[in-house]
Structure 1
């Protein structure tokens, strides 16, 4: 099991549903919307019928929703955490690098090799890394092969001498809904891809967000819910949110504010 010092990840729904701010179960048949292309490519962030594009506005509230909310940074408001802001510079946030199929591929040495996809990754001088290459944070790298519609993601990405290393890595076919093996991490501790959960500027410009937004909380349980494949929480109690949980904003919440 991968354990990390960074905040763990659950998912928040961009759609506004009925009732109080709440977690909702995802194991039901859902209606879906068409996903927008990733900027600079003709690839979408997974197929139109992916759960990433599911409309959850009519799903019931999860029985443990109130308990989860009460154990999630209850003294801190939900807030955007992307930049540049507060002097952090242009490398703050999780950038996306787009490459062609001809981009050179390199071997990567993984700390958690048994749960990583051990193929060659299109890393190079052009790879943008979260926080910059001198960062002491998560250093995620998110790379899209625009010709093959393949997504490559690594965590704790760094180059030491002539060799690339990372904590973990995963490769995704953006035309498929296939999940990772149960129990496997990815570049995200929930075993999910990072890119489809990012809020992108083109979505804000077009006033259309058809997917959940990735967010962090200070603590989670040692459990996960579908579609998550992995967890790295610190609490055994089911009253703490599991990785893979999906949260919905109150119907009264105004996105215009």
Structure 2
């Protein structure tokens, strides 16, 4: 799989990046049960209590959270035909439905809490100015460690079990004692957030203002045979409706330059019920397709690779032989319908944080 970069001119969104990851590292920081390995040592996190891993497994957040709801029978939006026709005429980013496996999710009981130097990608009051847990042996999205060397999105995502919080930071870079970071969004995993999420008109580590992690599917879920939540998807900026969002999103961007028939941020697309799932080439692809029928996919950010999965670096199951980046390439925009989206909100940039 070759790397792909898409430039966004909107503050808070830079490059969407995917690439072939380095070989999986042996670590026990991951969100799943792992046997101790000879590489474990000081600073490594060993999950010894199977119950302690439950917070790391998806689905995340309370069952009534929007991304955890079954929308297989939800009404179709009145603009569905127009939106789907618009997308069909332009296609997915990269010209096909493809899967990005570069997103890392770290899950830890203990980690040093580190303060960071805010970059120009940090916005107030949207972002949280607080210390971030940084587990030993972890990695950023698309990187082998904590240094952002490839000028990608470099998300740093950590589930901190003791506080039951999810930390998601965009454009992080850690090298020695230097820690620079963009927008940090801290989420309470036990909280059922209101419709306005962390705040109306507010961004997060993703353009739509949504949490990233609950929308990522991982190898453990797919190997188990079921994904029980909606999936994160992204589109090039010229295929996203300008300055418009719908629930569950709370934010949009001016970089999105699509017209009135383009899908807005937060839109949920559902794979049609009669799609021939059995025609897909792998069992893993069929698991993903069934989730797209039951929970759909939510437009969360701008970029070039349609679907986002979690890297298998810290999971028990591995993607090799389970699911490939092009296993869903036959699925077209015309195979989807737009679930009723409700009110269209115009983004103004006036973030008002939710208490």
In the superposition, the TM-score normalised over structure 2's length comes to 0.57
Find the counterpart in structure 1 of residue 27 from structure 2.
Answer: none
- Please say if 1:130 is aligned against 2:141: yes
CA positional deviation for 1:53: 1.1
Change (3 A) 1:69 1:172: same
Matched, 1:113 2:123: yes
Provide, for residues 72-94 of structure 1, a one-character-per-residue CA deviation record: whole Å limited to 9, x for no partner.
34262322222xxxxxxxxxx10
Structure 1 residue aligned with 2:100:
81
- Structure with bigger gyration radius: 2
**Cross-structure match for 1:97:** 106
Shift of the 2–177 alpha-carbon distance from structure 1 to 2, 3 Å rule, reads: farther
Is 1:224 the equivalent of 2:235?
no
Paired positions, count? 217
Paired residue secondary structure (1:113)? coil
Higher relative contact order (CA 8 A, sep 6+): 1
- The offset of 1:225, in angstroms, is 0.7
Secondary structure, aligned partner of 1:52: helix
Aligned residue runs from structure 1 range 26-45, under 5 A: 39=32, 41-43=53-55, 45=60
Match of 2:42 in 1: none
Q: Secondary structure at the match of 2:100?
A: coil
| 1:4 is the counterpart of 2:5 | no
Report the structure, 1 or 2, having the larger helix content.
2
Shift in CA distance, 65/46, structure 1 to aligned 2, threshold 3 Å = same
Q: Name the CA distance, whole Å, in 1 between partners of 2:113 and 2:12.
A: 28
Q: Does 1:65 align with 2:80?
A: yes
Q: Which runs of 4+ in 1 moved over 3 A?
A: 5-8, 70-73
**Cα displacement (A) at 1:161:** 5.5
Q: SS at the partner of 2:113?
A: coil
> What SS class does the counterpart of residue 205 from structure 1 fall into?
helix
Structure-2 residue corresponding to 1:241: 263
The equivalent of 1:198 in structure 2 is 216
CA distance in 2, matches of 1:117, 1:185: 11
Residue aligning to 2:232: 214
Tell me the alpha carbon deviations over residues 43-84 of structure 1, each in whole angstroms, 9 at most, x when there is no partner: 1510122112101011111122233233434262322222xx
Unaligned runs of 5+ in 2: 1-9, 18-30, 34-52, 281-355
Distance 1:124 1:205, change over 3 A: closer
Q: CA deviation at 1:3?
A: 4.5
1:141 positional shift:
1.2
Where does residue 183 of structure 2 map in the other structure?
A: 168
Contact residue 127 and residue 141 of structure 1 kept, 8 A: no
Residue 124 of structure 1 and its aligned partner are, at CA, apart by 5.0
Change in 2 beyond 3 A, CA 1:146/1:154: same
Distance 1:218 1:236, change over 3 A: closer
C-alpha deviation, 1:160, in angstroms = 5.3
- TM-score (ref. length: structure 1): 0.77
Q: Which moved more, 1:240-249 or 1:227-236?
A: 227-236
Alpha-carbon RMSD across the aligned residues, in angstroms, is 2.2
